[in-house]
Amino acid sequence: MQMKDLETTLRLSVTQIADKDSEGKERLVIEVLEDCNLFDYMVLDTTYDNDNSVSNLLRHCYLFPNHEVKKGEAVLLYSTKGKNYKGQFCNSKRTYHAFYWGLDKSIWNNEKDKALLLKIANRIETSV
d(CA 89, CA 109): 26
What are the domain boundaries of the chain?
3-119
Residue 25 clears pLDDT 80, i.e. is over it: yes
Residue 63 clears pLDDT 90, i.e. is over it: yes
Average pLDDT rounded to a whole number, residues 108-123: 84
Residue 4 clears pLDDT 70, i.e. is over it: no
E strand or H helix that includes residue 30: strand 27-32
Mean of the per-residue pLDDT values of the chain: 87
Residue 56 clears pLDDT 80, i.e. is over it: no
pLDDT of residue 128: 86
pLDDT band at 7, cuts 50/70/90?
low
At the topology level of CATH, where does 3-119 sit? Immunoglobulin-like (2.60.40)
The predicted model scores a pTM of 0.85
Q: ∠38-70-99 over CA atoms, to 5°? A: 45
